[in-house]
Amino acid sequence: MQPFEEVVTRHGATVLRVCRAVVGVADAEDAWSETFLSALRAYPELPEDANVEAWLVTIAHRRALDVGRARTRRAVPVATLPDRPDTRADPAHRDPDLWAALQRLPDKQRHAVAYHHIAGLPFAEIAAILGNTPDAARRAAADGIKNLRAHYREDGNP
């Protein structure tokens, strides 16, 4: 089994993009950290033939939902906004209008789009994460892309 540090290096960016798609940019790093803390505890028991990326995306989905729920339970006053946005190489920062359109999608559609088009997971694995069938996951992703195109165009973008 490869060292856990290599797992983080190889899949960290994908996990962060998935976390951003589920809870947004503001809470994504907390969800990312929680994902890898949970994964570190469970990693020694992971079977050799496991799909590590799918396993991490599943953990990221759950931890991101936990972080999102925790956010709704606490008030966080902010006096000023940061001067500069996070400049990591991420599509959300290259096109904030597209990110806003993604955030407007219903949860199932947003998650299906993120897991399939951002993380590259097959629909069978997405179905397991979302608790539905592969056909339902495929339909949610297709509907999400359709809605995303409509919202993105409504915002005056190509």
Whichever domain contains 54, its CATH number is 1.20.140.160
Q: What pLDDT does 79 receive?
A: 79
Q: What pLDDT does 56 receive?
A: 95
When pLDDT is averaged across residues 126-154 and rounded to a whole number, the result is 88
User: In angstroms, rounded to a whole number, what is the distance separating the alpha carbons of residues 131 and 61?
Assistant: 12
Cα distances from 65 to residues 6, 24, 58, in angstroms, run 25, 11, 11
For the stretch 26-84, pLDDT in tens is 889 999 999 999 999 999 999 999 999 999 999 999 999 888 888 777 666 777 765 65
Q: Which residue has the higher pLDDT, 157 or 130?
A: 130
Q: What pLDDT does 24 receive?
A: 87
Cα distances from 150 to residues 7, 100, 101, 153, 154, in angstroms, run 37, 13, 9, 5, 6
For the stretch 85-100, pLDDT in tens is 554 545 555 667 777 7
**% of the chain residues with pLDDT over 90:** 49
Domain hosting residue 146, numbered range: 4-83+91-155
When pLDDT is averaged across residues 131-147 and rounded to a whole number, the result is 93
* Mean pLDDT for all residues in the chain: 84
Q: What pLDDT does 74 receive?
A: 67
Looking at the 3D structure of the chain, how many domains does it have? 1
User: In angstroms, rounded to a whole number, what is the distance separating the alpha carbons of residues 142 and 153?
Assistant: 17
